[in-house]
Amino acid sequence: MKKKLRLSLIVLLIVFSLLISSTVLAQEEDRFGGTLNTAFQMSVAHLDTDNSTDSMISAMMNHVYEGLFEFDENLNLTPHLAASYEIKENGLVYDVKLREDVRMHNGELMDADDVVASFRRWLEINNGGQLVAPHFDEIEKLDQYNIRFKFEEVYAPFLNILASPVSNQKFVVRAEEVIDEFGTDVIDRHVGTGPYKYEEWVPDQKLVLTRFEDYTPSPREGSFFAGERIPYLDKIVFNFIPDAQVRVSGVQTGQFHFAEEVPRDQYQIFKMDQNIKNVIIYPDRMSMLIFNNAEAPFDNKYARQAIAYALDFEELGYAMIGDPQFWRLESALHEKGNPWHVSDAGAGIYGVYDPEKAKQLLERAGYDGQPLVILSGQDNQMERQGAIAIQDQLEKIGIDVELQLFDRPTVVERRAKKEGWHMHLSPFIKVVPDPQIHQGWTGTNKWITNWDSKDSRQMDQIFAEMLREVDYEQRYKIVERMQAELWDSVPYFNILDYSRLHIRRTELKNFQAGWQPFFWNTYLE
């Protein structure tokens, strides 16, 4: 009797398990299908991420192309098209084993030839590749699924640069046949390994991607850009809609399922709409105040320090962005949770509103009362409102300020000159995977700061040490020094971090907010 009872229970458990499994499979199957219509704010010139710094290209083509390595939601480096890797010879050699089952959009299996061709092109024309190139020796195909990267000298951030989400840095794998066809020219025939494949691009109107039926997902658990990517959607349409209110109306009426960069002052309206969900991006952007270090008075660091003390950052937050849920005071270049975050960056100067100290520092710098020119954009709220508020605060302590607001192309043209401006307000992307990336902006004559002094050469030395140090703990100590030096010499500084607002329809499920929107693992209910 007991044996029969046990047998009956076992049978019931098996039946129950099968019912649960079939229900889960049915639910999973129900997620497939549908066309996702999105509204993005601007079109792009082309779709070749190696040939552009446009973040919109990266956001869209991340669905088509994948990297050897990707970052998860905590910015942990994760093998993706790579199966595994090993660092040898004290950081001079990287052996990478590829996944052997990855199908490309042309029907062929991805192998070492595709990776080698893609990497050589990346090294030659991509900004990330050009950071690596001066230190690199050669890439070697060991066999069909094994590759060796060899360096002439240690380059500590190599893997982080390969996976970098920063536009025109990330390395992605393209079909060798496409590289052979286009070389370094702009590619307009796209063959990758991603969950969606290129279908149609109508300039200034839309990009259409369709599900890659033979997609081979990573065996790792999905987390942001890393791990499993499931293409539930039949099709993704990226519509280019410059007018913000048209994007908003499209989501409200159901024409679009997602719209990027909508007005933050409509947040409460969206919140009351049961068909819409607000998407606040964090981490997202920094509002960076940049000095022209080649022109008096800001060729003297005490004048630059003076401006930090002269500004009320909290008041600027309300003026520049408004609702405090969209901004936060943050002195560090890397956000909380980022492995390179320095919690006490700027201690004693960041957020210390002290107009009297500002006046003393200006006097120490020999400031003669000349008008100071703030150059900023008029099309972006943060830049326009921020520049106006900074002018107001500086004039309160007796500084004569001239405000020059222009469209983006004019701003870019004028800030490239070494004269004619003193301060410039600019957005920076907050999320960077490695502090070495700031070397492109920070140091002697880097980017637009025109910084050339004993302090800038000290910063050059700090980045040189950081470049060679592969141990995380030791490298972090160098990053702490870098942040301390930045706040002492202040060639530029972050006023605050702020967030953009996107909106989505409630029927778009499993969407994860990120600095670049992505739609694998999402589905339409």
**389, 226, 258, 246: which is closest to 320 by C-alpha?**
389
**161, 176, 198: which is closest to 61 by C-alpha?**
198
Tokens of 326: 């969209």
The overall average pLDDT reported for the chain is 92
Domains of the chain, by residue range, sit at 36-261+503-524, 285-498
Q: What is the pTM of this model?
A: 0.84
Q: In which band, very low, low, confident or very high, does the pLDDT at 21 lie, cut at 50, 70 and 90?
A: very low
pLDDT attached to residue 470: 85
Predicted confidence (pLDDT) per residue in 193-233, tens digit = 999 999 999 999 999 999 999 999 999 999 999 999 999 99
What percentage of the chain has pLDDT greater than the value 90?
81
Indicate the residue type of 323: D
Output the CA–CA distances (angstroms, integers) from residue 507 to 100, 131, 340, 357, 501, in the order listed. Answer: 36, 42, 37, 55, 18
Contact between 521 and 222 under an 8 Å Cβ cutoff? The reply is yes
Instruction: Indicate the class that CATH gives domain 285-498.
Output: alpha beta
Predicted confidence (pLDDT) per residue in 353-399, tens digit = 999 999 999 999 999 999 999 999 988 889 999 999 999 999 999 99
The CATH number of the structural domain formed by 36-261+503-524 is 3.40.190.10
Strand partners, 404: 375
Tokens of 437: 């990336």
Contact between 248 and 266 under an 8 Å Cβ cutoff? The reply is yes
Q: State yes or no: pLDDT of 15 exceeds 70.
A: no
Contact between 195 and 126 under an 8 Å Cβ cutoff? The reply is no
pLDDT attached to residue 182: 97
